[in-house]
Amino acid sequence: MPDSPNAGAPARNASRGRYRFREYHVTTLPDPMALPAFEAVCVTGEERNCGAMSGTLHTPDEVTQWIAGHCAQSGHELYEQTARALVRAEPGAWQ
C-alpha cells in the first residue's frame, strides 16, 4: 500500500474544524380540521403524586373547570397542564 502524500504532516485537530450550515426555513400552521387537546394531571403529594387525570379536553376553560373541581374535592393545588395541537409544516427554501 502506498504512503499517504500527507504522511509527514501534523495531525489535524478535529475539534477545530470550521463548518457552515445552510438554514432550512419551515413555517408551521395549525391544522384547521383538528381540535386542540388539553390535559391536566394532579401532581400534588409528598410521597407520590395524586395522579388524577382530566383526560383529553378541547378548551382551556374545560381544563380550568376540571382543575377547580378536583381542587374543591381534594384540596390539591399543584397540576401539570399540557396543550397539544396538530400543525402542518410548509417547507420553505434553503438559504
- The predicted-structure confidence for 73-91, as pLDDT tens digits, reads as follows 999 999 999 999 998 888 7
Query: What's 33's DSSP letter?
Result: T
- CA distance readout (Å), 58 to 68, 89, 94: 16, 22, 36
Q: Which three cell numbers stand for residue 14?
A: 478535529
Q: Specify the number of domains making up the chain.
A: 1
- The angle formed by the CA atoms of residues 31, 36 and 42, to the nearest 5 degrees, is 155
Residue 42 burial class via C-beta count within 10 angstroms: exposed 0-12, middle 13-18, buried 19 and up = buried
pTM for this entry = 0.63
Asked if residue 83 is part of any domain, the answer here is yes
Asked if residue 79 is part of any domain, the answer here is yes
Asked if residue 25 is part of any domain, the answer here is no
Q: Over the stretch 11-40, which tens digit does the pLDDT of each residue have? A: 555 566 666 666 667 788 888 899 999 999
Asked if residue 13 is part of any domain, the answer here is no
Asked if residue 54 is part of any domain, the answer here is yes
Pairing of strands 37-42, 24-30: unpaired
Asked if residue 41 is part of any domain, the answer here is yes
Asked if residue 42 is part of any domain, the answer here is yes
The boundaries of the domain holding residue 67 are 36-94
